[in-house]
């Protein structure tokens, strides 16, 4: 994977990643702000602002003006909000690169935030919240963040609470944008076939050089005061119980890198593919779940590793026991070198497949640069995965699979909290 780094006059970082022999190009603009940068009073503002970017600019005053141009060339335009970043992108045929650059810069930097559109979009976002409330498979991840992080930005939802969405003002949204949408905390990635583009840096300077050059406000550091296993039950009359169970992990700090790659391999070994332990024990041997998999998350200053599943209601306590027993087996060293090698090979192979295409390349490079201020190529990353050994897996399992970092969040027709408290230990 080839790429170049540049910096515009206002401090905005630029990554150019040529990908030969493809027909597409992706323009991705990333801003280093998200729900973790919000106060409780304006929780959800990052996501609200992302929605409003499509509601009109000076150059394209009507919402349809924005999407129609990309529709006309068969391209893709969208945006997303996370806990630590917000992104806007266009993917198109390489011949339409200049239009893609213009549209992305326009919606991200020059959105007018019209009052009438804010009022309409409140309803859209409230319905989005309602949609996720009716999807326990998605809703349970909010419970997980709540139980792991509590009453701090990391423990709140990206969409925000309904009462905030109903009351947040245009001034609060505008103030947040003016505070956080700054060049030095943002970057733009151009990935794909742009070999025919001339003076691309001059075009980027013209379009993205208009972004303010001040300093954005930093997020609050994530606090961790957990001393014992924690549990959160979300009662709902569902036909299936959805749960996340696991442990606190590590973040993206440089000193945590060795543990991070070991945990990535360990996550695969436990539940990253169909022959992994969770899938075999719960679905294949017992038939108690349709989906079950591991998750390994790394944010800038926190992380987690665990299992997520949708299971038979009456088998929930037993499934939790089985999952915890698999964690304990690993902690006790009951795994083979072959399992570790399979997990490493799977990580490398699946990552290579996932990196096909211009949009995947843009995301891979952009998020690393934004969150870590450095970029590992896939080859460099794979070398670090290959270096993970059996002793590394033993070390991180003993370090992180501990009761003081154990958490369980679930949604289903369960009200007996004590029944789960009795088994929530390793």
Closest C-alpha among 60, 109, 108, 68 to residue 88: 108
Same domain, 167 and 48: yes
Strand partners, 90: 27, 77
Same domain, 25 and 149: yes
Mean pLDDT of 270-288: 98
Same domain, 176 and 272: no
HEC profile of 230-259: EEEEEECCCCCEEEEEEEECCCCCHHHHHH
In which band, very low, low, confident or very high, does the pLDDT at 119 lie, cut at 50, 70 and 90?
very high
Same domain, 262 and 115: no
Question: What pLDDT is stored for residue 198 in this prediction?
Answer: 83
Same domain, 234 and 202: no
Residue-wise pLDDT tens digits, 131-178: 999 999 999 999 999 999 999 999 999 999 999 999 999 999 999 999
Residue 223 lies in a domain: no
Whether 270 shows a pLDDT value over 90: the answer reads yes
In which band, very low, low, confident or very high, does the pLDDT at 210 lie, cut at 50, 70 and 90?
very high
Same domain, 169 and 265: no
DSSP state letter for 281: I
Q: Are 192 and 361 a contacting pair, CB within 8 Å?
A: yes
Residue 279 lies in a domain: yes
User: Which CATH number goes with the domain that contains 82?
Assistant: 3.30.830.10
* Residue-range definition of the domain harbouring residue 10: 4-208
In which band, very low, low, confident or very high, does the pLDDT at 9 lie, cut at 50, 70 and 90?
very high
Task: Look at the chain and report how many structural domains it folds into.
Answer: 2
Residue 224 lies in a domain: no
Whether 197 shows a pLDDT value over 90: the answer reads no
Q: Give me the chain's average pLDDT, please.
A: 97
Token look-up 């990196």 returns: 355
The domain boundary residue, chosen from 173, 208, 243: 208
Question: What pLDDT is stored for residue 254 in this prediction?
Answer: 96
Same domain, 167 and 250: no
Residue 393 lies in a domain: yes
Same domain, 39 and 86: yes
C-alpha torsion sign, points 127, 133, 138, 144: positive
Q: Which of 50, 146, 339, 369 is catalytic?
A: 50
Question: What pLDDT is stored for residue 20 in this prediction?
Answer: 84
Residue 271 lies in a domain: yes
Q: Are 366 and 187 a contacting pair, CB within 8 Å?
A: yes
Question: What pLDDT is stored for residue 214 in this prediction?
Answer: 82
Query: Model's pTM, two decimal places?
Result: 0.95
Residue 221 lies in a domain: no
Mean pLDDT of 302-312: 98
Residue-wise pLDDT tens digits, 90-116: 999 999 999 999 999 999 999 999 999
Same domain, 183 and 278: no
Residue 162 lies in a domain: yes
Same domain, 265 and 326: yes
Question: What pLDDT is stored for residue 54 in this prediction?
Answer: 97
Task: Check if 146 is active-site.
Answer: no
Same domain, 241 and 351: yes
The domain boundary residue, chosen from 147, 173, 208: 208
Question: What pLDDT is stored for residue 92 in this prediction?
Answer: 97
Rounded to 10°, the helix 390-400/316-331 angle is 130
Residue 269 lies in a domain: yes
Closest C-alpha among 136, 56, 130 to residue 414: 136
Pairing of strands 406-412, 230-235: parallel
Same domain, 66 and 98: yes
In which band, very low, low, confident or very high, does the pLDDT at 195 lie, cut at 50, 70 and 90?
confident
């Amino acid at each position: 994977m080839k790429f170049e780094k540049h910096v515009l006059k206002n401090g905005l970082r630029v990554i150019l990643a040529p990908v030969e022999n493809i027909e597409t190009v992706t323009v991705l603009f990333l801003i280093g702000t998200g729900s973790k940068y919000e106060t409780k009073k304006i929780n959800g503002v990052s996501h609200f602002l992302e929605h409003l970017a499509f509601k009109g600019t000076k150059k394209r005053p009507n919402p349809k003006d924005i999407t129609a141009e990309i529709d006309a060339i068969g391209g893709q335009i969208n945006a997303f909000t996370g806990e630590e970043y917000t992104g806007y992108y266009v993917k198109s045929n390489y011949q339409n690169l200049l239009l893609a650059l213009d549209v992305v810069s326009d919606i991200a930097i020059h959105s007018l935030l019209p009052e009438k559109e804010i009022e309409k979009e409140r309803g859209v976002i409230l319905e989005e919240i309602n949609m996720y409330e009716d999807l326990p498979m998605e809703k349970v991840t909010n419970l997980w963040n709540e139980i792991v992080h509590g009453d701090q930005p990391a423990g709140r939802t990206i969409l925000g609470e309904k009462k905030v969405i109903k009351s947040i003002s245009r001034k609060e949204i505008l103030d947040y944008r003016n505070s956080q949408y700054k060049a030095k905390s943002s970057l733009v990635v151009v990935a794909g076939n742009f070999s025919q583009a001339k003076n691309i840096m001059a075009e980027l300077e013209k379009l993205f050089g208009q972004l303010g050059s001040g300093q954005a406000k930093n997020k609050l550091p994530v606090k961790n005061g957990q001393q014992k296993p924690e549990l959160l039950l979300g009662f709902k009359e569902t036909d299936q119980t959805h749960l996340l169970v696991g442990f606190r992990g590590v973040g993206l700090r440089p000193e945590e890198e060795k543990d991070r790659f070991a945990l990535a391999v360990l996550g695969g070994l436990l539940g990253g593919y169909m022959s992994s332990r969770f899938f075999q024990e719960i679905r294949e041997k017992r038939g108690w779940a349709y989906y079950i998999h591991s998750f390994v998350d790394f944010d800038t200053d926190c992380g987690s590793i665990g299992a997520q599943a949708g299971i038979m209601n009456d088998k929930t306590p037993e499934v939790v026991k089985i999952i915890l027993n698999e964690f304990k087996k690993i902690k006790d060293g009951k795994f083979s070198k072959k399992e570790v090698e399979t997990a490493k090979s799977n990580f490398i192979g699946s990552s290579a497949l996932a990196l096909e295409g211009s949009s995947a390349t843009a995301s891979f490079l952009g998020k690393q640069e934004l969150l870590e201020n450095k970029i590992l190529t896939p080859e460099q990353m794979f070398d670090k995965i290959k270096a993970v050994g059996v002793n590394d897996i033993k070390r991180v399992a003993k370090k992180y699979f501990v009761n003081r970092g154990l958490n369980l969040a679930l949604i289903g027709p369960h009200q007996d909290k004590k029944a789960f408290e009795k088994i929530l230990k390793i």
